[in-house]
Amino acid sequence: MRALDDSSYDAARETMVREQIAARGIRDPRVIESMRRVPRHLFVPPADRERAYIDAPVPIGEGQTISQPYIVALMTELVRPQSGDRVLEIGTGSGYQAAVLSGLVRHVYTIELEETLARRAEGVLREQKYDNVTVRVGDGYAGWPEHAPFDIIVVTAAPEQVPQPLIDQLKPGGRLVVPVGPRFTVQQLQLIEKNASGEIHTKNVSPVMFVPLRRPQ
């Protein structure tokens, strides 16, 4: 397939933001601006690049996918990113969600189980100068205690239950967004907030379908 030139990608991205993001109710202007700015096609492997802006997840290798644009925007809006926030992402995948968060917060720490994906994402993030993103190969069920606590935790693969270490690693006042439920069927996207006195409040936001959060072999 012939590669589109940069201006076609820019036009496709504008259409994506208009039709998939703004039209469906994403309102936070900072989130919309970040979706407009991050070159999503560069996070999709070359063979599928022309599909980067479609209204669906796209394969990124190793049986994994880059989430649908609307879901990335929704999760980003739900956690209410602030410029001073430190963020943990579980499931780096392509690095796209990390890049979208990168411009909105102080630092993004992101963990990926698959070494191949982690290295590729790290390469794209470095090349595109997302300098406040740190990628690590590891098991997201454990979180990242060395950098805890976090203002925000974004989990982009579905556990059957919310891993307790992630709740423990959330700051008072912190927001955690996570798809929870059985494998390869519909899960609930949950927004979990820890208030100033450490109490947990959980809200079901919407049915979603994510790849499972796997246990390491």
Specify the residue, 143 or 174, whose C-beta has the smaller distance to ligand SAH: 143
Residue from 97, 102, 169, 190 in contact with ligand SAH (CB under 6 A): 97
**What residues numbered 53-82 form the site for ligand SAH, per CB under 6 A?**
64-67
Does residue 34 bind ligand SAH (CB under 6 A)? no
Q: Spot the catalytic one: 67, 94, 102, 206.
A: 67
Spatial neighbors of 114 by CB under 8 A, at least 6 apart, are 62, 64, 137
Size of the site for ligand SAH (CB under 6 A): 23
Specify the residue, 2 or 40, whose C-beta has the smaller distance to ligand SAH: 40
CA separation for the pair 65, 181 (Å, rounded): 18
Specify whether 67 is catalytic. yes
Does residue 104 bind ligand SAH (CB under 6 A)? no
Phi then psi for residue 161, to 5 deg, are -135, 155
- Cis peptide upstream of residue 179 (ω within 30 degrees of 0): no
Specify the residue, 168 or 172, whose C-beta has the smaller distance to ligand SAH: 168
Does residue 113 bind ligand SAH (CB under 6 A)? yes
Specify the residue, 32 or 52, whose C-beta has the smaller distance to ligand SAH: 52
Residue that the structure tokens 């963990």 belong to: 111
- 47 CA to centre of own chain: 22
Does residue 163 bind ligand SAH (CB under 6 A)? no
Which residues does residue 153 pair with via DSSP β-bridges, in sequence order?
Answer: 88, 176
Residue from 9, 70, 130, 141 in contact with ligand SAH (CB under 6 A): 141
Residue ranges in contact with ligand SAH by CB under 6 A? 64-67, 90-91, 93-94, 96-97, 111-114, 117, 139-141, 156-157, 211, 213-214
Active site residues: 67
